[in-house]
Chain A
């Protein structure tokens, strides 16, 4: 028995010693961004996730580090799935990365909360003039610029080229797109035995509806002279919702089952010829190119146009600098480097998206017919800030009012009058709370 006791004690002592040693070797760094030699280290949290995109980001960081031995950039991998909570906690705790990759529609709270630096004093003239004003607006809050918009994607129609050709319908181009009425007629024509003309993946129906509604002149959110925003739902706002509703419930040219799906979920049906077209973000081409069966012929078409042409809303990806960063100037220099036209092209190709920069957009690699890059670049000039971009209270309006209302309307559970009532009456009550 004494042996067992001694054995247990020895084991526990050894365990405690091992843990102490182990833990001593795992403590974090100081995080002040400077070492004894005066070299600065900036943390760059990137949300790139596709291999080509991660590679492009890492290569650019390596190139910067080679050129700037005194200003090292450390690549930190973030995740789209959890970036808001992670950043919020980091900001509150004063431990945010110096350079932050995010989407413009996630910046408002951080900008108003004083967590992001106003980049106006730091941005070089080259970068300011290269990105169009409409893109800058997506990251401008209360007169300050809190992010550099650098990648964006229009919503396009990805079509089964064979079915389109067989149907004999006119194939739209950016110069001559379908109208919304024409689109509805085409989807009726493309529907047939066990096949739908279109599959709307509307698991997140609000941003898709609002952004596409810009083409018909729909804005939904209207800012008054006093700066307060109210919701109005006019005839222009109804064009896109009514088209989707009627395709699903009247024409039966759109699948009702995909209304609750995400974009990726519709691809198997698209590849199997069950849906002739799917409205998707431009970057979905990467998945389609990778997953489509051999010989599957697909093509990208512009989204339908309305009274305002091909206009649609986007929330570009952005690069920001943390207000707490002691090296804002250096961080802005790195952003400038990362977004030089050739580098912006590399990032855009890695993410299968469009760059915001005018120079980068001219690059022949983004105007090729392969994978229909040219269709996307032709749409770039029509992209504007998403209507809800700077509306405070939008997330609550979206989650509590608009998402269930649009889902019910699209599924046929409520009519247009009830949709209007809920979006406007219930919606304005929500927004009012944020604007007292």
Chain B
């Protein structure tokens, strides 16, 4: 059935409205980052700064160790993403290919585990990491992020594995390929978009995470970017708005860059995961 022109126009309009809705906070953040203090306090704020300035960026870098914090965030997020994917991929394969009561129970547990609030686990986690001498240590934070990302990563990858036709693996077996060869040469390449998308999910989760980083990293040298951003906030919600916006804008850039670079792969991966 063909869509009529007015209906199609309506669809595009709805899509445009949705895009504007999604983009609004980011565009406003960018606009704020370039406004001088007096424009920030204007009763009639404008989209385009009348007197754009880089002072907020200068001040942000001057006041807080943003680069060091970004380095910590990058290290933690990349490590967490890589480890989560490395662990989750074979697990997902087993869960997808060998359906049993155990695999169904595991899937159920994965779903339930996502419902635990951070505050419920933070003190026991803190004590465990303390005994392992991993408080105030980036490996401790990476471990936490891996554990936190793993269930959802697993869940995502199970969908991608199921989307890979079993017949292709069987055909490779008929051609004489061993199990490892099948996994590495047949299944893995088809799973690549899914692995990329899952890794990206784990990366963004770790990059944005605040509470665990706040509690576990007390040393200024090891604090991550989200924790540093709160240093622009005072008591009772007062904020140093310009530098905060500048720092927050910089903090969003890595995710944006990575998304834009591998956008096609993700889209492909998401579509592949949707195929049943």
Q: A85, B38: Cβ atoms under 8 Å?
A: no
- A79 and B136 contacting across the interface, CB-CB below 8 Å: no
The residues of A that contact B138 with a CB separation of less than 8 Å are 23, 26-27
Taking a contact as CB atoms under 8 Å apart, the answer to whether A80 and B218 are in contact is: no
Contact call A80/B235, Cβ cutoff below 8 A: yes
* Contact assessment for A81 and B133 in the assembled complex, using a CB-CB cutoff below 8 Å: no
Tell me the smallest distance from the CB of A185 to a CB of chain B, in Å.
Answer: 27
Instruction: Give the bracket for the number of chain A residues in contact with chain B.
Output: 35 or more
Within the complex, the shortest CB–CB distance from B131 to chain A, in Å, comes to 10
Contact A274 B41 (CB under 8 A): no
Contact A23 B142 (CB under 8 A): yes
Q: A93-B130, A274-B43 are in contact. Are A77 and B220 (CB under 8 A)?
A: yes
**Any chain B CB within 8 A of the CB of A268?**
yes
Is A436 engaged at the interface, CB distance under 8 Å to the other chain?
no
Known contacts A76-B218, A89-B126, A95-B218; A5 and B43 CB within 8 A of each other: no
Contact B38 A81 (CB under 8 A): no
Inter-subunit contact A262/B218 (CB<8 Å):
no
A30 surroundings in chain B (CB, below 8 A): 133
**Contact in complex: B127, A93 (CB < 8 Å):** yes
**Known pairs A262-B237, A264-B238; A85 contacts B126 (CB<8 A):** no
Closest to B59 in A: A51
How far is A33 from B233 in the complex, measured between Cα atoms in Å?
A: 29
Report yes or no: B219 in contact with A94, Cβ–Cβ below 8 A: no
Q: Residue A381 at the B interface, CB < 8 A?
A: no
B234-A27 in contact (CB<8A): no
Nearest chain A residue, comparing its CB with the CB of B128: A93
Min CB–CB distance B191 → chain A (angstroms): 13
Contacts of A51 in B (CB 8 A): 59, 62-63, 240
A378 interface contact, C-beta 8 A: no
Interface string of B38-82 (1 = CB under 8 A from A): 101111110000000000000100111000000000010001001
Contact with A along B219-231 (1 / 0, CB 8 A): 1101100010011
From A219-227, A237-245, A290-298, the one touching the partner chain is A290-298
**One of B127, B184, B222 near A28 (C-beta < 8 A):** B222
Most buried by B among A5, A28, A45, A47: A28
Closest residue of chain A to B86 (Cβ to Cβ) is: A12
CB distance from A106 to the nearest CB of B (A): 10
Measured between beta carbons, the chain B residues less than 8 angstroms from A204 are 236
Nearest chain-B residue to A26 (Cβ)?
A: B138
Q: Shortest Cβ distance from A381 into chain B, in angstroms?
A: 23
B214, CB-defined interface residue at 8 Å: yes
Contact B137 A268 (CB under 8 A): no
Given that A5-B184, A19-B79, A80-B235 are contacting pairs, would A27 and B43 also be in contact in the complex, using a CB cutoff of 8 Å?
A: no
Does residue B232 face the partner (Cβ distance < 8 Å to A)? Answer: yes
Q: Which residue of B lies closest to A22 (CB)?
A: B75
Q: A90 to chain B: closest CB distance in Å?
A: 7
User: Which of A30, A92, A93, A291 counts the most B-chain CB atoms under 10 A from its CB?
Assistant: A93
Contact B79 A95 (CB under 8 A): no
A294 to chain B minimum Cβ distance, whole angstroms, is 8
Q: Are B43 and A272 in contact (CB under 8 A)?
A: yes
The answer to whether B135 and A31 have CB atoms under 8 Å apart is: yes
Cβ A269 vs Cβ B43 within 8 A: yes
| Most chain A C-beta atoms within 10 Å of own C-beta, residue among B82, B83, B142, B218 | B218
Contact for A29 among B38, B82, B136, B188, CB less than 8 A: B136
- CB-contact partner of A4 in B86, B137, B185, under 8 A: B185
CB within 8 Å of B: which of A77-127?
A: 77, 79-82, 85-86, 89-90, 92-95, 97, 103
How far is it, in angstroms, between the C-alpha of A75 and the C-alpha of B218 when the chains are bound?
Answer: 11
Q: Is the pair A75, B38 in contact by a Cβ cutoff of 8 Å? A: no
- When A23-B138, A92-B126, A94-B130 are in contact, do A287 and B238 touch as well, CB less than 8 Å? yes
Are B43 and A264 within 8 A (Cβ)? no
B10 in contact (CB, < 8 A): no
Interface contact A81-B218, CB-CB below 8 Å: no
Question: Are A80 and B137 closer than 8 Å at their CB atoms?
Answer: no
A93-B123, A272-B43 are known contacts. Are A31 and B238 too (CB-CB below 8 A)?
A: no
Question: Are B220 and A26 neighbours in the complex by a CB distance under 8 Å?
Answer: no
Enumerate chain B residues within 8 angstroms of A264, measured Cβ to Cβ.
237-239, 241
Is B140's CB within 8 Å of the partner chain A?
Answer: yes
A26 and B231 contact, Cβ closer than 8 Å, known pairs A19-B83, A31-B136, A93-B126: no
A57 CB, nearest partner CB in chain B, Å: 12
Q: B219: shortest Cβ distance to chain A, in Å?
A: 7
B164 at the interface (CB under 8 A from A): no
Q: How far is the CB of A160 from chain B (nearest CB, A)?
A: 13
B134 contacts the other chain (Cβ, under 8 Å)? yes
In the complex, which residues 255-300 of chain A have their Cβ closer than 8 Å to any Cβ of chain B? 262-264, 267-269, 271-272, 274, 281, 284, 287, 290-294
Contacts known (A23-B142, A80-B233); A267 close to B41, Cβ less than 8 A: yes
Give bound CA distance, A50 to B44, whole Å. 26
Asked if B136 contacts A28 (CB within 8 A), the reply is yes
Contacts of A31 in B (CB 8 A): 135-136
Within 8 Å CB of A269, what residues of B?
43
Q: Are B184 and A76 touching (Cβ within 8 A)?
A: no
CA distance A81 to B210 in the complex (A): 12
B139's contact among A5, A26, A92, A292, by CB below 8 Å, is which? A26
> Measured between C-beta atoms, what is the minimum distance from A163 to chain B in Å?
15
Residue of B nearest to A9 (CB): B184
What distance in Å separates the Cβ of B27 from its nearest Cβ neighbour in chain A? 20
With a CB–CB cut-off of 8 A, which chain A residues contact B256? none
Query: Contact at B231–A49, with CB atoms within 8 Å?
Result: yes
Whole-angstrom distance between the Cβ of B15 and the nearest chain A Cβ:
33
Please tell me if A369 contacts chain B, counting CB pairs below 8 Å.
no
A373 to B: closest C-beta gap in Å:
19
Note all chain A residues with C-beta closer than 8 A to B63.
51, 54
How far apart sit A161 and B119, CA to CA, in the bound complex (Å)?
A: 48
Q: What residues of B have a CB within 8 angstroms of the CB of A93 in the complex?
A: 123, 126-127, 130, 135
Q: Footprint of A on B, CB under 8 Å? A: 37-38, 40-45, 59, 62-64, 75, 79, 82-83, 86, 119, 122-123, 126-127, 130, 133-140, 142, 181, 184-185, 188, 211, 214-215, 218-220, 222-223, 227, 230-241
Interchain Cβ contacts under 8 Å between A and B, 17 examples: A5-B181, A23-B142, A26-B222, A31-B135, A50-B234, A51-B240, A54-B63, A76-B219, A77-B231, A80-B236, A85-B211, A262-B238, A264-B238, A271-B41, A281-B236, A287-B238, A293-B38
Question: With A27-B139, A51-B240, A97-B218 given, can you name 6 additional A-B contacts, CB distance below 8 Å?
Answer: A1-B181, A5-B185, A26-B75, A49-B240, A75-B220, A269-B43
